[in-house]
Structures are given as C-alpha cells and as structure tokens.
Amino acid sequence: MITQEKPQINWQPIIKQFAAIVGEKNVVQRREELLTYECDGLTSYRQRPAVVVLPRTTEQVAALVKICDLNQITWVARGAGTGLSGGALPIENCVLIVTALMNKILQIDLENQRVVVQPGVINNWVTQAVSGAGFYYAPDPSSQIVCSIGGNVAENSGGVHCLKYGVTTNHVLGLKLVLPDGSIVDTGSFVPEMPGYDLTGLFVGSEGTLGIATEITLRILKTAESICVLLADFTNIEACGATVSDIISAGIIPAGMEIMDNLSINAVEDVVATGCYPRDATAILLVEIDGLEVEVATNKKRIAEICQKNGARSTTTANDPETRLKFWKGRKAAFAAAGHMSPDYYVQDGVIPRTQLPYILREIEALSDKYGYRIANVFHAGDGNLHPLVLYDNSVPGALEKVEELGGDILKLCVKVGGSLSGEHGIGADKKCYMPQMFTETDLETMQWVRKVFNPKDLANPGKIFPTPRTCGEAARAQAEKKFEKVELF
C-alpha cells in the first residue's frame, strides 16, 4: 500500500477565499465554536474540523469544493448531524461543508407527485408542505423532525413505512450534484425510469464519498383512503418475532411493523407516558395497514387472528389520526428514552431475514448475558432492520471498547444468517472494519474503483465506509484516535 504525506495548509488565505464566497458570518473558525461540529449523532467519535463553512446555493458549494480541490484539502459534508455511524465525522485538518442553510423547498408539483428540495430541508417538512393536498413523503426515520433530506440521501435512510414503500433511494427521482472537483452535474429525471446507468441510485447511500447533493427531486405519495394501527402485546418476544413472518407469509404487506421489548416499553412510558404500552408485556408489536377501506378492514381482522394464534394477550386498534399518532409516539421516542435509562447507549443497525427474528433475538439476549450489558431491542421488524441499544456508562474505563465489541458480534450474527451490516444508518466510521465480514477482497477493491472515478484524489469524506487497514485488526474507533495523518491510495 502506498501512502503520501498531507501537505501543510496555510489556512488564512483559504479562509479569506471561503468568506468571499459565503460571507464572513458563514465561516466558523473559532476553536470554541468548532466544538459544535466535532461529531455527529455517534458521540463516542470526536474530531474538531479546521474550519466550517455554511453555503446557501449550489454555486457556493461548487466554489468551496473547487478551492479544496486546488489546495488538496479534505472535506466532509454534514447536514443536521443526526447520523449514527460517524458518517459526518470531521477529519483532522478538514473543511466541514454544512448544508443547514440550504433549507428551501424549491418546487412542489402535485400533478406529477414530486417535490424539489435543497439538502438542508428537514424530512418532516416535506410531508407538512403537501399534506394539506392529501400527499406525504414516505421515508420517515425516527429522527424525521430533525434529520435533513441531504443526510437521508447520503445514508439511504429508512423508517417505519419503508416495509411497504421502500427506503430513500426508492423515492429520489433526480439529483443536482457537486462532484469532488467542483463540477456540477444532474442525474436522474422527473420520470421514475431512465435509460443508461443509474447514477442517482449509485449516489444515494454513498455517504458523502462521491460528492454533495445540492438539489433533490423527491417522489411523494397520495395519502391512503384508510389507515389503521394495531397494537398487540406478547409475553414471549420470540413469538412476537414469529408473528411478523406469519403476517407476511399470509400475503399481507403492512405499511410498517415495529417491535419493542420490555426494556424499551418501560423507558418510553417513563418518558413519554403514552399509556398505550402495557408495562408488563415482554414485547409489543405495532402494525400499520393502509389502502382502500375494505382492504384495511379485512387485513385488520386477519392480522389480529394471526397475533392471537401466536399467543398475543390482547390486540388494540386505532383508526382515528389522534390515537394512531399516540401509538407511534412511543416508538418514535425510543432512542431518546434510552438516554433516561443509562448514562450512555450504543445503537447498532443490522438487517436479518424476517424468518431469523426469533433466533437472533435469543442470540442477542445471550450476548447481553455474556458481556454483562443490558440491551433494549426496538426495530423495524417488517424488513428485519434491528436497532439494539446497548446501555453502558462511558465514564467506566474500557466500557466503550467492550460495548463496541458486543455491537460487532451482533453485526457478525446478522451477516451469518444472510443479513447486512446496515439497514439505514450507513457504515461511516463505526462499521467500516466489519465490511470484510460481508464482502470479499475483490468486492471491496471494485467499490474503491467506483469511488476513485468520482473522487480520484480522495478528498471527499476519506476514511469512511472502507476498512483501513482492510482487516479488523484496528479498532473501529480509528478516527477518534486520529489515524488520518496519511491518505491511503488503493
């Protein structure tokens, strides 16, 4: 492997050029102000950037990136900073390009069911902008009231309704991109299918390693005629998991299916106090069904029968918007509620085949006993996307390392049963050393070739996604330990 030393950077003239583009108030360089940007939602990894810039237009982003390209300066794109894999983690001596001020909805085209937004637009704003006309935007991460569309595109985010309607990539029609050399290109179209290479699909989920999306064309959906949420509680979490597979096997595709275990149930009730979740339940299953009124009524009855057959103690349904929102309120608050159970928590994001849910839940419980850490399970059960929350105290020496090892064992389990390392949080800095668990050396080399086509100088978000070195010999926390003095050339 060949390495090259990073050149020394004279920041003052660079900062002046940045200020000439975005204005002095949109260039952050004071040490205490930079602390705000030293991590994303994965707070165990921290690195202060050299400077932060906040552009407002595509042209400003392109000009900033060109300066970085000419001066061989690494840069990282950041949206709202809610990512949970360290994807927007700064790199030593890098420029952090923050899209928070690029927050305009540029076009709403209801006739063609599309909306054009800047990357800083908050996920939930899209639905708010079109709900009055009977439309909504389907991908809905739990953080949808704070996470931005640009970050959703970078990580290919999912959410509760992605079982039936798909993740972010299924709802992005086109992109305006600034590539790592500062050039501006358009991919995709206003129509869903285009001939040629699917460059839009390639970019969604690339975690900022191929460029920055500055305009995003989204597909919106018509609100269903009828919507119902069913809540079933169980005394056995494996039976709850088996119910998910049985519902799908019956030919029913709900809009979403979510499971919460007892630890999560009580945490949510302590914080949100919905009054909906039985505190003595081992697990609850939330199922949302939508469609024509007759279809929803039929499927509601069938799902209730399947739940009861699998040992559900009770089933409750909600058809009115207020009660449905109350049912979902606790699930959406699960991550925040975990912070009230423990000084710190570490969340993972693996995917498994639905039929493996009972087995994996037993194995996670065994890992909890082995390592001695409580694990709260809350996940998108319908598409097998697990979100185990490992509770720990970071002030205890060595605790984070043990928790990371536990999280790694869970990811290895997911891959072992035919699953994936990530469903929606991305790989980032957190999971890159586990990529060889899922991909061969040739696979990883091929992905690097793709990256090099768009990012030949490795200036855009270097050190993310791919293992450095390619094995898990180093801890995943390499970035927090400042391992970026050298640029790796593959």
Query: Nearest 5°: phi and psi at 33?
Result: -75, -30
User: Which residues, other chains included, contact 15 with Cβ-Cβ below 8 Å and sequence gap of 6+?
Assistant: 27, 29, 51
For residue 488, the model assigns a pLDDT of 36
Q: What is the pLDDT of residue 176?
A: 98
pLDDT score for 185: 98
Judging by DSSP bridges, how do beta strands 105-109 and 135-136 pair with one another?
unpaired
User: How many C-beta neighbours within 10 Å does residue 478 have?
Assistant: 18
CA distance 324 to 227: 9
Please report the pLDDT score of residue 485 as a whole number: 37
Mean pLDDT across the chain, nearest whole number?
Answer: 92
For position 469, what pLDDT does the model report?
58
Instruction: Give the model's pLDDT for residue 6.
Output: 60
Weakly modelled stretches of the chain, pLDDT under 70: 1-7, 469-490
Bond into 321 cis (ω within 30): no
Q: What letter represents residue 238's amino acid?
A: E
26-76 pLDDT per residue, tens: 999 999 999 999 999 998 899 999 999 999 999 999 999 999 999 999 999
The whole model's pTM is what?
Answer: 0.91
